[in-house]
Amino acid sequence: MYAIVDIETTGGFADTHRITEVAIYHHDGMQITDHYHTLVNPGRDIPYFITGLTGIDASMVKDAPLFEEIADEVLRQLEGRIFVAHNAHFDYSFLRKELEEAGRNWSARKLCTVRLSRKIVPGLKSYSLGRLAEHFGIIITDRHRATGDAEATARIFDLLLKQDADGVIAKALLRSSGETILPPNLPRSEFEKLPAASGIYFFHDEKGTVIYVGKAINIRKRITGHFSGEAREWNRSNVRNEIHQISYELTGSELIALIREAQEIRRIWPRYNIAQKFRAEEWGIFDYEDQQGYCRLAVTPVARGSHPLISFASKGDAWNFMWEKVQAHTLCPRLTGLQKGSAACYSHAEGNCLGACVGQESAEAYNTRVRQAIDEMGASDETLLIVDKGRTSEEQSVVLIERGAYAGFGFIPSAGQIERLDDVRPYIKSGRDNRFVQNLINSYLLEPRSGTIYDFSHEV
């Protein structure tokens, strides 16, 4: 009747990341009846900070099956069952995407143990999996691994079923149809002409005023998600009733879509782009000296007026960059903020840390390598051209970074080799460099999702 699921992944977004582990527990409404587990080869690198969190690295998944090889078994484990997970949308979106790419169609009614717990067990300070397990007296034996977290979620769900005197779960299932419901004032013809392509999109009200700007790899799919039953923030707000028209701008490249979304939000300031207006949009790496004289590094949000060594568009990108510097310069994970605690870091036992965390390496010797890493974080003077897919098969998109600063984007004919930067310049629409755009580009250069990077520094 229920499939209680937890997955581990290479990152936080189903459109750009892959599954590395799956665990599924079956519950018949009375008790846990069976379980399934497997590691999955994601077919791509696992970021260092993900390995630090889950312990899953490339060697563990090297001989594991690809998702397409287990798709039929996963589908068998899920089919005909109500999908249950902690923060269900995350796990559901990844599994649906992986199954879709393997050629399998699957959808299910969903239950989220976070939402259910808030109603069935009100008054808790936190509804994280760890805190809920602690509240119910459940010990999670393998935290941040699919089996341990799925088992804990299954046991929590079992207790929620037994404590649900007001029928919260039954009411949640009635709402979980997943049916796409268009806004009442939006003609279906407006929706049906939306493209399944990368770009930015605009929601307009009755007067034509832009009330929301978004970006997507697949505009049609993204907007469908806004209007589905699982998009509760859109269903709660008045924005649905105010949408009378949708317009869009194709970009081809995801990077250009990110840049254009940021620029348009800051140009228009639509009233429903609340998160982009107020959230901490930057994560930076900062340095300081501790009481023992060791130069330390830390990944923290960038506050107004602060000056990081380098900044990124997300915490994950900043952590991943830090891990690369730790490995490249034999730095200590604890003294770079990647590991908590006061004892020796885990890399010390493996011989990858020379002991600065326990005083076995002098501050002078350690700080020399830290300064080398910091020097590499300075402003770049590189001139790069990022070439990616265009809006049609006859063109390519280009983003120009000149002397380390964003210079603009454009579209060039897809035929022919790019040999000289001057051949491309006539196609570039100049753009203003700013810190936010630099963060987006830093994050992209750290882990390019697609496209080719040409270095023209020698021409400038």
146-163 helix and 113-120 helix, angle to the nearest 10 degrees: 30
Q: Which residues pair with 287 in a beta bridge?
A: 297
Residues 308 and 398 in one domain: no
Give the model's pLDDT for residue 234: 52
Residues 252 and 291 in one domain: no
Residues 84 and 127 in one domain: yes
Does 180 fall in a domain? no
Can you give the residue range of the structural domain that contains 339?
Answer: 283-375
Number of structural domains, the chain? 4
262: phi then psi, degrees, rounded to nearest 5: -60, -45
Does 181 fall in a domain? no
Give the model's pLDDT for residue 280: 46
Give the model's pLDDT for residue 14: 78
The domain that contains 101 carries what CATH number?
Answer: 3.30.420.10
Give the model's pLDDT for residue 178: 43
With tokens 């020379």, the residue in question is 354
Give the model's pLDDT for residue 179: 40
> Each residue's pLDDT tens digit in the chain (460 positions)?
899 999 999 987 777 889 999 999 999 999 999 999 999 999 999 998 899 889 999 999 999 999 999 999 999 999 999 999 998 888 998 999 999 999 998 988 889 898 899 899 999 888 889 899 999 999 988 888 999 999 999 999 999 999 999 988 988 887 554 444 577 788 878 888 899 899 999 999 999 999 999 999 999 988 888 876 444 455 445 687 789 999 999 999 999 999 999 889 988 989 888 755 544 467 889 999 999 999 999 999 888 777 888 888 788 888 988 999 999 999 999 999 998 888 889 888 888 899 999 999 999 999 999 999 988 886 567 889 999 999 998 899 999 998 888 899 999 998 767 888 988 999 999 888 777 788 888 878 877 667 888 888 776 5
Residues 396 and 439 in one domain: yes
Domain boundary among 320, 347, 375: 375
Residues 229 and 209 in one domain: yes
- Is the backbone of residue 110 left (phi > 0), alpha (psi -120 to 50) or beta? beta
Residues 413 and 437 in one domain: yes
With residues binned 3-state (H G I as helix, E B as strand, rest as coil), the percentages for the chain, rounded to 5, are 40, 20, 40
Domain boundary among 278, 294, 313: 278
Are 182 and 231 contacting, i.e. CB atoms less than 8 angstroms apart? no
Domain boundary among 175, 209, 241: 175
Does 183 fall in a domain? no
Q: Which residues pair with 296 in a beta bridge?
A: 288
Are 161 and 29 contacting, i.e. CB atoms less than 8 angstroms apart? yes
Give the model's pLDDT for residue 379: 57
Does 107 fall in a domain? yes
Give the model's pLDDT for residue 432: 81
Residues 294 and 272 in one domain: no
Residues 292 and 170 in one domain: no
- State whether residue 447 is helix, strand or coil: coil
Alpha carbons 114 and 160: distance in angstroms, whole number: 11
